[in-house]
A = this chain, B = another copy of it.
Amino acid sequence: MHIKKQRLLTPGPTPLYPPALHAMMASDIHHRTEDFRKVYLACLAGMKEVMGTANDVLIFSASGTGAMDASVSNLFSKGDKAIVCVAGKFGERWADIAKAYGLDATVITVPYGQVVSPRQVEEALAKEPATKGVFVQASESSTGAAHDLRAMGQAVAKTGAIFVVDAITGLGTMPIDIDGWGIDVLVSGSQKAFMIPPGLAFMAIGPKAWKFADTATLPHYYFNLKKEKKSGDGGESSWTASISLILALGEALKYVQQIGMANLVENAQMLAKATRAAVQAMGLELFAPSSPGAAVTSVRPPAGMDSGVIVKEFRSRFGAVIANGQGSMKGELFRIAHIGYFDFPDLFAMLACLEIILNANGFPVKYGTGVAAAQEVYASAAVKPKSTAAA
């Protein structure tokens, strides 16, 4: 056995920003004190700023799925008509939540690797004018595809429905104009672009959605949007706050604000572009070639090779954890993540490791081929040394 560093290279949990991790050590404060309220208010304000929205922002002690649940249980009533876009495992989660709460959902399903088109949403809305909600993923991270939120949002805005977007892996990896594109509810999570451990969910909620909260009749208790808004205005969480994660978030937000959200998005997009170039140079195929997102790049293994072999050898040879396909996609793809705290050296290392693994398993790749393609993207993107401050 030699040195094998544990490298968390999955699309969530994502690599942790060390100063945020260290900030968790100051957790010996009480959540109903002025000290904590200051941090909590800064987190709410910071989230609002990086989300670039005038809408209200809420924080929950929950995983992202908790905020997805909350958006249904707080804003809809049993039997409400809904349109659910399903392009992968996370789309299926929206469908499951809609079913669990008894919504009358029209599910638009496309094959894994493809996306639901704005036109499909428009047609479904025209067919059912009473639709109350349209649910979609910004980035469907089980396949690596990204939806066209802008066009979908414009279609939904013309109707009485609200547009509910799971941007858990989309936020920070693609441009999202919450207010400009009519996104009434946007959901995200701490363990993605925010570089901290799982356990916090975020929601941006606008005026059209708030009106839904007044008439919705589905039962709920822990996830209570109105109560959470009121508590947040006072610098507190409704229930006991996840103190350590709020401290981590405060630190991570400072970093994201320092980088700038647009640059964080560009960072992911450049890494995704370099990854696509690299794996294609190695002779591999993308799983979602027509509308690839920048949260994660899904790659098909060589013909006849199970992607699990690649995932396992990343771990056993190099101590690196990368993601396999989920559900029925297991074995058919592996995923290279770019969301949050990833940089080019991470990618160069990962690609060099991938070349070794492919060669060792009977798929010949000239060493350095994929790395060189990524280096070219770095160089042609004119990534210049602007500052000597590393972070």
Residue numbers of A with Cβ under 8 A of B are 1-7, 18, 25, 258-260, 263-264, 266-267, 270, 312-313, 315-321, 341-346, 348-350, 352-353, 355-356, 359-360, 366-369, 371-372, 374-376, 378-379, 383-391
Q: How far is the CB of A176 from chain B (nearest CB, A)?
A: 18
Interface of A is mostly: helix
Q: In the complex, A383 Cα to B1 Cα: how many Å?
A: 9
Residues of B near A368 (CB, < 8 A) are: 367-369, 371-372, 375
Partner of A316, one of B7, B344, B367, B386: B386
Residue of B nearest to A376 (CB): B367
Q: In the complex, A321 Cα to B389 Cα: how many Å?
A: 11
Q: In the complex, A316 Cα to B384 Cα: how many Å?
A: 9
Residues of B near A391 (CB, < 8 A) are: 4, 6, 319
- A313, A348, A369, A391 — which one has the most chain B CB atoms within 10 A of its CB? A348
Residue of B nearest to A25 (CB): B25
Q: In the complex, A355 Cα to B348 Cα: how many Å?
A: 11
With A345-B352, A345-B353 given, name 13 new contacts (CB 8 A): A1-B259, A2-B263, A2-B267, A5-B341, A312-B388, A313-B385, A316-B387, A319-B390, A344-B352, A345-B349, A352-B371, A367-B371, A368-B368
Residue of B nearest to A9 (CB): B345
Q: How far is the CB of A319 from chain B (nearest CB, A)?
A: 3
Q: In the complex, A214 Cα to B142 Cα: how many Å?
A: 71
Q: How far is the CB of A250 from chain B (nearest CB, A)?
A: 19
Contact check, A1 vs B345: say whether CB atoms are below 8 A apart: no
Contact check, A375 vs B355: say whether CB atoms are below 8 A apart: yes
- A343, A356, A378 — which one has the most chain B CB atoms within 10 A of its CB? A343
Given contacts A259-B3, A366-B372, contact A348 B343 (CB under 8 A): no
Q: In the complex, A4 Cα to B348 Cα: how many Å?
A: 14
Residues of B near A6 (CB, < 8 A) are: 18, 390-391
